[in-house]
Amino acid sequence: MSLGITVSGLSLDYGDTRAIDDLSFELDGGKIYGLLGRNGSGKTSLLSMIAAFRRQTAGQITVDGNEPFENAAVTSQICLIRESGDVFETDTVKNVLKFAADFRPYWDADLAARLVDRFELPLKKRVQALSRGKRSALGVTLGMASRAPLTLFDEVHLGMDAPSRYAFYEELLNDYLEHPRTIVLSTHLIEEVASLFEEVIIIDRGRLILHEPADEVRARGVAITGRADAVASFTQSMDVLSTKQLGGTSQATVYGALSDERRRDAAEAGLELGPVPLQDLFVHLTDNKRGDR
Amino acid sequence: MFDDRSPIYRQIAESIKSDILSGALAEDSQVMSTNQYAAAYRINPATAAKGLRELLDEEILYKRRGIGMFVSPNAQEKLRAEHRQSFFSDVVDPMIDEATTIGIPLSDVIDHIQRKDG
């Protein structure tokens, strides 16, 4: 089961501050989406409204065609895991899991037990006594084992160490393959998870910058390597994001896809073309110094 | 696992092609499913599907409804013919350039090849 999301003209104000600014997009559902944005770009606000934790100032959200706010039929299908955890600090890990098992309609106890084991979660400890990494692992376990048709992870994995993060990516992908559903993962550390995304949504200052299949986003950047003078003349009128030089060789990262003709020109000039990491394109697209685009 | 030089789906297609060329994947044998590729390479299944779709379009693979994807009967010969076409531009020409750069006379290269052949 998978739920689609439609967001139209969505805005959210905190007092005088506009956190989400006239945002519109549509997700078909059944895919793994990457929600990318810098700190403070509005990722948490957006996910909180989709999960009905918070009401919007203006605009509309529908999940599977229905508004989620104060609508139990919809919210029971949604699981949002935020970095804060949204669990009782004085509860033990065991009780937190038991509560989720009672409360979550699609809870998979076997999966929960396996994740507890893999992340070495101490069942008897209270949440407040957990390290940041273990607390994140608890959030990940709750989100995964809930197996909600719409599962939202808000930067929850960032507190984990690298081996645990990679374990999370592996578990997430394998479970998604067995139980396809709509998963949204927000992060600003993109490279490690980029290969999991089918579509990417980039927001900045509460506005939509881009929503495209991940492969198409990647195709928007090209790294051009070769003799410094050849690279310089080839990239003369292009949007060059960065240049690296090593002796007589240089590599320029440019924004914008190359036509077949330009690719032939590059080959004739002895230049090598390569892909650009998603992270570099993200940095470019959300660099405020470049102004509005 | 990936060298970052080409899109992931193309690398999957290339690795299947090289298995077919080497004979590791025989004609009419079944290739892994999209989900198996996704799990093995830790990538989104849509990305894996894109690589397999390329091979279906090139008729290197064919589909049996409800069962999976298989290596086409003439796939190896087809790939060999393609590689023969690009052999001189992709392999021999760069070798000649390299030999020239480092000062090996082409006659030495030819001698070497003839010794290997004999």
pLDDT beyond 60 at A1: no
The encoded tokens of residue B34 equal 């999209």
Alpha carbon dihedral A111, A112, A118, A123, in 10-degree steps, equals: -160
Residue A181's SS3 state is: coil
Mean pLDDT of A194-203: 94
Distance of CA A166 to the CA centre of its chain: 15
pLDDT beyond 90 at A289: no
Determine, for residues B6 and A169 on separate chains, whether the beta-carbon distance falls below 8 Å: no
Instruction: Give the pLDDT confidence score for residue A293 in this predicted structure.
Output: 42
Give A232 to chain B, closest Cα distance, Å.
21
Do residues B69 and B56 make contact, with C-beta atoms less than 8 angstroms apart? Answer: yes
Q: Which residues of A touch B7 (CB under 8 A)?
A: 215, 218-219, 275
Q: Which residues of A touch B90 (CB under 8 A)?
A: none
The encoded tokens of residue A264 equal 């032939």
Determine, for residues A196 and B8 on separate chains, whether the beta-carbon distance falls below 8 Å: no
The CATH topology of domain B8-73 is: Arc Repressor Mutant, subunit A (1.10.10)
Determine, for residues B42 and A169 on separate chains, whether the beta-carbon distance falls below 8 Å: yes
Distances (CA, A) of B86 to A50, B53, B82, B89: 53, 23, 7, 5
Name the percent of chain A lying above pLDDT 70: 98
Instruction: Give the pLDDT confidence score for residue A16 in this predicted structure.
Output: 93
pLDDT beyond 50 at B113: yes
Mean pLDDT of A236-241: 89
pLDDT beyond 50 at A291: no
Q: Which residues of B touch A169 (CB under 8 A)?
A: 42
Interatomic CA distance for residues A139 and A141, integer angstroms: 5
What ranges do the domains of chain B cover? 8-73, 76-117
Mean pLDDT of A99-121: 96
Domains and CATH numbers, chain A: 5-214 (3.40.50.300), 219-290 (3.30.70.240)
Rounded to the nearest 5°, which phi and psi values hold at B33? -80, 165
The DSSP secondary-structure symbol of A256 reads: S
pLDDT beyond 50 at B41: yes
Banded pLDDT at B6 (limits 50, 70, 90)? low
Determine, for residues B39 and A197 on separate chains, whether the beta-carbon distance falls below 8 Å: no
Q: Which residues of B touch A218 (CB under 8 A)?
A: 7
In this predicted complex, what is the ipTM? Answer: 0.79
The mean pLDDT of chain A is: 92
Q: Which residue has the higher pLDDT, A148 or A287?
A: A148
Instruction: Give the pLDDT confidence score for residue A132 in this predicted structure.
Output: 92
pLDDT beyond 50 at A269: yes
Determine, for residues A275 and B47 on separate chains, whether the beta-carbon distance falls below 8 Å: no
pLDDT beyond 80 at A144: yes
pLDDT beyond 80 at A284: yes
The mean pLDDT of chain B is: 89
The encoded tokens of residue B63 equal 């589909």
The encoded tokens of residue A81 equal 């895991």
Banded pLDDT at A80 (limits 50, 70, 90)? very high
